[in-house]
Amino acid sequence: MDRIKKQRAPVRAGITKTIKELEVELAKTEQDKDALEIKMRKLRRLMVEVKGLDQNMKDALLDGEAEEEEYATELESIEEYKDRIEEISHKVGKVFSPSSPSSSCGTANSEHGRSRNFKLPKIQLQKFCGDMKDWLGWWSQFTKIDEDDQLHPSDKFQYLLQSMVQGSRARGLVESFPMTAENYLKAIAALKERFGKEKFLQQVYVRELLRLVITTAKSNESVVLSKLYDDIETQLRALESLGIKAEQSTQFLFPMESCLPEKILLTWQRSPLRKQDGSQLNPKKNELDYLMEFLREEMEGEQTRKSVRAGFEITTKVKENKNNQRQVKAHQKQSEDVPTVAGLMNVSSVKSLTMQVQNVSRLRR
């Protein structure tokens, strides 16, 4: 934490100095727009840098289980710098014309928006119920609201409450804070403390991965390789986003091998990928990376075989239908050529009638 403070201190000092220089330039009767532009670029660069350091500091405080008051003080300090940057940016933006590249990023966004000739669908606000497996997805979306400097904290609090599932643990935690702007940051800190700690999330996803392995290994049903690959990939990506390094992830290799179908396992043991050494590659690869690469190739091969078989089955069915039609027609023709009892009776009746007519004619002569 002290290291982050040492990194951030000169960046904040640079922000303060740049803001003062901009204020001096703005106080002049005739402002130098080139000087303002250069200093604004510097300020934007420093703003991006300090934003990353601020996030690191917040994470360090949460991981270190800091007191709520200490965390709130840190957030107030961050907001103070944001307000100063926003204020000076607004003043500089008024000096330039709206079409100038120095204007606020909102203008640039609006110009970009006008160039779009289609309307995007509205994004539904994802709701969080308190299940830690849903935290990453929910926070990834809500962080856009949390970091929006144009929204007042009281409005953010309303959005936060709306994004909680009614009657859930998470909703109860948020509702325990009075709905004031000052309590918004406290509610966010409490949610992160309860549901967003990395070490707890890592444990959740490790258990999910092991549960998947055990369930698959015990199952008597045939394993669908594509589904198994997708399930494993999901858990590994979640662990990766939580900071599980490549060296740590190799501990899952042997449990994952045990859940593979016997035929796939034998193929993997003979695969050249199993003997690859990726330590010299850039980026480096470990045994787990090669196992996932092998499973992906097997999955793609299985899908290719299915598509080929499906095409062959269609061709075979067409040929079978044509053969069946020929057989039906041949049978019908054969049936027409074979004399039936009714047919024989009709022929006999005609012959008898003809003989009777001939006899009558002879008698008249």
What global pTM score does this model have? 0.45
pLDDT at residue 44, as a whole number? 87
Q: Where are the domains of the chain?
A: 2-104, 132-196, 200-302
Give the model's pLDDT for residue 293.
82
Three-state SS for 104? coil
What is the residue whose two structure tokens read 């200490």? 70
Question: From CA 120, how far away is CA 61, in angstroms rounded?
Answer: 38
Q: Which helix (H) or strand (E) holds 190?
A: helix 181-195
Measured between alpha carbons, how far is 356 from 258 in angstroms, rounded to an integer? Answer: 96
Cis omega (within 30 of 0) for bond into 178: no
For residues 274 and 268, what is the distance between their CA atoms, to the nearest angstrom?
7
Predicted confidence (pLDDT) per residue in 186-220, tens digit: 999 999 999 988 888 878 877 877 777 777 766 66
Low-confidence ranges of the chain (pLDDT < 70): 97-118, 217-223, 245-250, 311-324, 327-365
